[in-house]
Structure 1
Amino acid sequence: MTSPRRAAYALEARKLSRALVSRVAAVGTLVLVLVTTAGGYAAARYSAETDMGRQAAALVTAPGWAGYTALATTSVGITSLLAVGIVMAWSVGREFTDGTVVGLFALPAPRSTIADAKVCAAAIWATLLAAAESILVTAAGLALGLPWDGAVRSGLAIFLVAALLGLSALPVMWIATVGHGYLAGIAATLALVVVTNIAAGFGLGLVIPWAIPVLWAAPDSAVHPALLLAPFAAAVAGALLTRRAWARLELGNA
């Protein structure tokens, strides 16, 4: 017989894998990252005399894989955080918006276990999306003529940045729980993206966990790898807060 815990994990995995929002987010993210990275690099390299080429060249701050990786992680830094945050907000918030949270109280699994299952499913989805981004963007770099030497290192850097940013969006699930709907989570995701980019633009990126991975991947970066623990800590905090909020849910205020 399937245990309630295992059943909860399987249910949340099916929900997320079959949801239109997760599929659209995945496809949209992959397309945007590929177009902005490969397209931008191609424009900078082969059409440098055009307006688009000059704008793209300004973003490619180093030759070879170093510049390509920096361009890719800059794109990933926006698209992955936004897409994963929206999916995470939907995963939790839809239960309140659609009224299905009431039915979850009838399940044999504790609500904290349901929260764990949602967090686990979202984290795995975000990690798989990061892997797909890394493979696709690295393959595009090779197709553009970049050498095999350095490809693996670039792919790993892109994967690490995308995975950390995706996982660091987990606090959005807590906000969607507290706000009893996905709109609160989506608003929090947008705020994270805006604040992160503004802070990075003003040179304050090292105090924002969601900006650190992209700064670390920049050419000649002085960011210590230990600082990558900051977005991981944000992910852990988001998971724990979500679990605690779900454990305290009551039928009357759900």
Structure 2
Amino acid sequence: MTSPRRAAYALEARKLSRAPVSRIATVSTLVLVLVTTAGGFAAAQYSTETDMGRQAATLVTAPGWAGYTALATTSVGITSFLAVGIVMAWSVGREFTDGTIVGLFALPASRSTVADAKVCAAVLWALLLAASESILVTAAGLALGLHGDGAARSALAVFLVAALLGLSALPVMWIATVGHGYLAGIAATLALVVVTNIAAGFGLGRFIPWAIPVLWAAPDSAVHPALLLAPFTVAVVGALLTRHAWARLELGND
């Protein structure tokens, strides 16, 4: 017989994989990353006489794979965090908005187990999305004529940036729980994107966990790899806060 824990994990994985919001987020993210990275790099290399080409050239700050990777991670940094944050907010918040939270109290699995299942399903999806982005942009770089020697390193950098930023969106699940709806989580996601970009613009990016991965991947970066532990720590804290909040849920307060 299937254990309550295993059933909860299977249920959350099935709900996330079949949800239109996760499918739309996946396709939209992959398309946007591919278009902005490959399209931007191609414009910078082959259309330098056009306005678009000149604008794209300002974003490609180094030749070869270094510049291509920096462009890819910049694109991934925005799109991945937004997509994952929105899906994570939906995964938790929909239970309150749609009123299905009541049914979860009737499951044999504990509420903390349900939270763990939601977190694990979201994390697995975020990692699969990061891997897909990495493979897609690396293949596009090779198709654009970049030498194969730097492909593996670029793919790893893109994956790390996408994975860390996706995982660092986990606090959004806690916010959606506390806010009893996905709108609170989506608002938090947008706020983090705005704050991160403003801080990076003022040169404070190395102090912001959500900016560190992209800055680390930039050519001639001064960001020490140890700082990549910051977004990972944020992810762990977000998962623990989400679990704690779900463990304390009561029907009368939902």
Normalising TM by the smaller chain, what interval? over 0.9
* Corresponding residue for residue 193 of structure 2: 193
TM-superposed CA distance for 1:203, in Å, is 0.3
Matched, 1:71 2:88: no
- Which portions of structure 1, spanning 4 or more consecutive aligned residues, are displaced by more than 2 angstroms? none
Where structure 2 has 5 or more consecutive residues not aligned to the other structure, the ranges are none
Where structure 1 has 5 or more consecutive residues not aligned to the other structure, the ranges are none
Matched, 1:5 2:5: yes
* Corresponding residue for residue 243 of structure 2: 243
Give the Cα–Cα distance (whole angstroms) in 1 for the partners of residues 236 and 142 of structure 2. Answer: 35
TM-superposed CA distance for 1:222, in Å, is 1.0
Matched, 1:146 2:146: yes
Give the Cα–Cα distance (whole angstroms) in 2 for the partners of residues 186 and 251 of structure 1. Answer: 24
Matched, 1:25 2:22: no
Give the Cα–Cα distance (whole angstroms) in 2 for the partners of residues 206 and 148 of structure 1. Answer: 31
> How big is each residue's C-alpha offset from its partner over 1:93-122, in whole Å with a ceiling of 9 and x where there is no partner?
000000000000000000000000000000
* Corresponding residue for residue 119 of structure 1: 119
Give the Cα–Cα distance (whole angstroms) in 1 for the partners of residues 103 and 158 of structure 2. Answer: 40
- Counterpart amino acid of residue 223 in structure 1: V
Aligned residue pairs, count? 254
Matched, 1:226 2:219: no
* Corresponding residue for residue 94 of structure 2: 94
* Corresponding residue for residue 52 of structure 2: 52
TM-superposed CA distance for 1:80, in Å, is 0.2
> How big is each residue's C-alpha offset from its partner over 1:174-211, in whole Å with a ceiling of 9 and x where there is no partner?
00000000000000000011111110011000110000
Matched, 1:162 2:138: no
| Percent sequence identity over aligned pairs | 89
RMSD: 0.3
TM-score normalized by the length of structure 1: 1.00
Give the Cα–Cα distance (whole angstroms) in 1 for the partners of residues 57 and 238 of structure 2. Answer: 37
Give the Cα–Cα distance (whole angstroms) in 2 for the partners of residues 81 and 248 of structure 1. Answer: 28
Give the Cα–Cα distance (whole angstroms) in 2 for the partners of residues 105 and 203 of structure 1. Answer: 47
TM-score normalized by the length of structure 2: 1.00
